[in-house]
Structure 1
Amino acid sequence: MGNEQVIVDSSFSAVINAPIEKINIPDWCFTLPEKEYQWCSPAHIAAGFTTSPEGNRMSVNVEILGGSVMVQHYVEKLAEPTHLILESVSDVFTPNGRTTIHVHWELSVKKIDDNTCEFTNRVRSKPTAEFIRFIDQQGIPFELFKAQRQPVSVYHNQTETPLFAKSIERHALGENLNL
């Protein structure tokens, strides 16, 4: 992200009780049932899958963060069994109108031992030009928006990470979520 403005850069880890050889993060991500996505956070509303105009797999997620509805269009940029990178220009619906932000979502696992892995869930967001115009028109300084947004986004990532890890673990072991 270089010298660009960053809204949030948060990373959390959790243990997965499954051998790394059984982990396939892209398969998990692009087959995750909507109910299980919702189970991973009370902010998660809906999830679905499609393809980008270029033909890459895309995960479409809807969630509410800080009172704003976000529709994320995550396009796969790197897809390996233990490493998935997704990019989205996400729609954000606020009480003051609609705008966009850029979100980089990176999920990875590293082997701890023969039966466990460390899962890392990293989310980085930065403003689009449209977003900067949007907050400028409202007289909101970027640093103020950033200061208000960070706690919400960091908390969201922190609370969903162990639940994503549990979901990936179930997927790796061929288990279903019993709701």
Structure 2
Amino acid sequence: MSDMEIVDSSFTAIINAPIEKVDIPKWCFSLGEKDYQDCSPAHIAAGFTTTPDGRRMSINVEVIGGSLMVQHYVETLGEKDHLILESISDVFTPTGRTTLHILWELSAKAIDGGKCEFTNHVRSTPTDEFRAFLDRQGIPFDVFRAQRQPMSIAHNKGETPLFAASIERAALGN
């Protein structure tokens, strides 16, 4: 992890479907709100749209560590087995609103027996706005990072197997 990263978290889970049936971008950009909510108790709402220049965007609303987050994930790579999304996410805290930069990478690779290994990798870094937000409150970046990491890592760990199960259902047409 670099000095500027808040969190670099990666977890894996098994998808019980052959790689040929897995389509992560299709799953992501058609994920219903109930399915999204079923992947974590922190998930509130999900939807999808496009940016003004036509790129696909997944909009996710969740609460992590007591902060409401509205994420605007724009597709930067969209292959059936590999999706990279980037967001300048709005974060609503008890002391005000700010933004974070989040890179969300989802991938699958074939393993034995018609199964896949799914990886859910999340990295977050501060925006200039966020660093100023911390400075105004006198909060050192390292202190914030130390407090944020356990919550974000626990969130990613909990949602990863549930995302894998949802992708599996989509791959198998259930």
Percent identity between the two aligned chains: 70
Q: Could you say which residue in structure 2 is the equivalent of 1:119?
A: 118
Q: Where in structure 2 are there 5+ consecutive unaligned residues?
A: none
| Secondary structure in 1 matching 2:5 | coil
* Count of residues in correspondence between the two structures: 174
Runs of 4+ in 1 over 4 A off after TM superposition: none
The equivalent residue for 1:153 is 152
1:90 — aligned with what? 89
1:68-117: CA deviation from partner (whole Å, max 9, x where unpaired): 00000000000000000000000000000000000000000000024100
Q: Could you tell me how far 1:29 is from its partner in structure 2?
A: 0.1
1:78–1:84 Cα contact (<8 Å) kept: yes
Q: What is the identity, as a one-letter code, of the residue corresponding to 2:52? A: P
**Other-structure match for 1:168:** 167
Q: How much is the aligned-residue C-alpha RMSD, in angstroms?
A: 1.0
Alignment of 1:6-155 (within 5 A): 6-155=5-154
TM-score (norm 1): 0.95
The separation in 2 between residues aligned to 1:68 and 1:59, in whole angstroms, is: 19
Secondary structure at 2:124's aligned position in 1? strand
Q: Distance in 1 between matches of 2:105 and 2:3?
A: 18
Letter aligned with residue 141 of structure 1: P
Question: Which structure 1 residue ranges, 5 or more long, are not aligned?
Answer: none
Which one-letter code corresponds to 1:37 in the other structure? Y
For residues 52-72 of structure 1, what are the alpha-carbon distances to aligned partners after superposition, in whole Å with 9 as ceiling and x for unaligned? Answer: 122100000000000000000
Question: In 2, distance between residues paired with 1:49 and 1:111?
Answer: 28
Distance 1:78 1:87 in 2: 10
Moved more, 3-12 or 27-36: 3-12
